A and B are shown apart, each in its own frame.
Chain A
């Protein structure tokens, strides 16, 4: 079976590349935010705990679409005020930056919970051993907690990344040229909505499968010290 894409194949491929870029950038931001959130939530200081809790509850309780819209349309005044101060009054978030920030924020909120669970799953003795060896707090975290945390957090993060990949479609609402937007453009021209949205759906499916395989290898690698020999 041959599907006629009316010459929109390259545009859709470019859209797929944009989707991947968006997802990876949001992933980076989200991982940093998630780590910070989890550190705040597990810290012994009440204000920090409160801050981390507020972040994860607030962001998780509000739809992703609302965050995307808020980041794009809501920051116009703020950004132009900032631009004014730095002598560039036309400063504004482009759709890509707005999308990365919004999706990263949402990913970070969920990742906060995943990382927190992973930190709590590490036996207390490991931390105490670090203290007994005279390691500093930062060192204990980077040398003892972090390397073990990844293995526990990886399946949860993989799920979140799959969700993130699908949420990138929302950024088409603020006219970023990713898969969904390119499909919409193609529909406007060809008047074949079902065909092109189905093609888009299968492109997302392909990306999901790709991400799943990647996750499988990462998980295998992370668990290489834990493979049971029978």
Chain B
């Protein structure tokens, strides 16, 4: 191991790690917001409400993120209408393409997690809420969603870690996040193994910190208190 060289390039690695965190942060937060209505619709008993989210989730979970990324970044340029629209300055930018694709991708997964969580709520609790005279909307906001949030949180933390790893794909659309930065550095100093090793340590540390953070959130939301009843 060439520790001195690794040390020399450390600031660049940090720069890459910050971009990685930005990508993941935007994707998982926006994804969560978008996934709430999608997940609720997916858990609906009516087939015409359920079918559209189902198709969306099926497409985004059934195809590789790399294909989706290329579809958005390279594919959209095929249409003149998009190239002339006001969106083009954003869709030309690899950062916005990557965040948009990752958001759409993770939305599908989070919506599916949410559906599982909603369906895992004991029916008696929802019936109790309705029996107390709560409207459907009120039961959703005060009973179902808070309960689903606690059931789905461990799966959501898994999804965030998976997105952290998936963000490495952004390097294929010329973004210099952690993996992209590492490949650039390797092109400069040819220390392939050492540099990939450093990047790996960065990913491990970030995922370790995320896991710890989610443990704190689980404690704060008292997830264990609602389990097993």
Report Cα–Cα, A197/B207, bound state, in Å.
31
Cβ contacts A to B, 8 pairs, < 8 Å: A61-B208, A64-B165, A65-B169, A66-B199, A73-B196, A194-B71, A194-B74, A205-B59
Q: Chain A residues near B196 (CB, 8 Å)?
A: 66, 69-70, 73-74
Contact, CB under 8 Å: A62 / B203: yes
| Assembly CA distance A114 to B177 (angstroms) | 31
A58 vs B183: C-alpha distance in the bound complex, in angstroms? 20
Do the beta carbons of B75 and A194 come within 8 Å of each other?
A: yes
Which applies to chain A's interface (DSSP): helix, strand, loop or mixed?
A: helix
Q: 1/0 per position for A174-210, CB-CB distance to B under 8 A?
A: 0000001001100100011111011011101100110
Count residues of chain A with CB under 8 A from any CB of chain B: 38
Number of interface residues of B (CB under 8 A): 38
Q: Which chain B positions have C-beta within 8 A of A205?
A: 58-59, 62-63
Q: Counting chain B CB atoms within 10 Å of each CB, which of A58, A62, A202 scores highest?
A: A62
Q: Which secondary structure dominates chain B's binding surface?
A: helix
Whole-angstrom distance between the alpha carbons of A188 and B127 in the complex?
Answer: 58
Is A167 an interface residue when CB atoms closer than 8 A count as contact?
yes
Chain B 86-117 interface residues, beta-carbon cutoff 8 Å to A: none
Q: B179 near A201 (CB under 8 angstroms)?
A: no
Nearest CB on A from B92, distance (A)? 14
- Which residues of chain B are near A66, meaning CB under 8 Å? 168, 179, 182, 196, 199-200, 203
Shortest CB-to-CB span from A144 to chain B, Å, is 30
- Chain B residues closer than 8 Å to A70, beta-carbon distance: 192-193, 196, 200
Q: B59 and A180: CB pair below 8 A?
A: no
A113-147 vs B, CB cutoff 8 Å, 1 = contact: the mask equals 00000000000000000000000000000000000
Say yes or no: A169-B64 contact (C-beta < 8 A), given A66-B179, A73-B192: yes
Q: A63-B166, A194-B76 are known contacts. Are A74 and B193 too (CB-CB below 8 A)?
A: yes
| Residues in chain B near residue A151, CB distance under 8 A | none
- Chain A residues in contact with chain B, CB under 8 A? 58, 61-66, 69-70, 73-74, 76-77, 166-170, 172-173, 180, 183-184, 187, 191-195, 197-198, 200-202, 204-205, 208-209
- B78 & A195 in contact (Cβ 8 Å cutoff): yes
Interface positions of B from 47 to 76, Cβ below 8 Å from A = 58-59, 62-68, 70-71, 74-76
Which residues of chain A come closer than 8 Å to B203, judged between CB atoms? Answer: 61-63, 66
- Complex Cα distance A156/B9, Å? 40
Chain B residues positioned under 8 Å from A198 (CB to CB): 71, 75
**Among the interface residues B76, B168, B199, B208, which one has the most CB atoms of the partner chain A within 10 A?**
B168
Q: How far is the CB of A155 from chain B (nearest CB, A)?
A: 14
A157 and B192 alpha carbons, distance in the complex (Å) = 32
Q: Which residues of B contact A58 (CB under 8 A)?
A: 200, 204
Separation of A127 and B33 alpha carbons in the complex (Å): 48
Residues in B whose Cβ lies below 8 Å from that of A62: 165, 200, 203-204
At the interface, yes or no: B77 with Cβ under 8 Å from chain A?
yes
Kindly state whether residue B186 has any CB partner on chain A within 8 Å. Answer: yes
Interface membership of B44, Cβ < 8 A: no
Given A63-B165, A193-B78, A197-B75: A74 touches B192 (CB 8 Å cut-off): yes
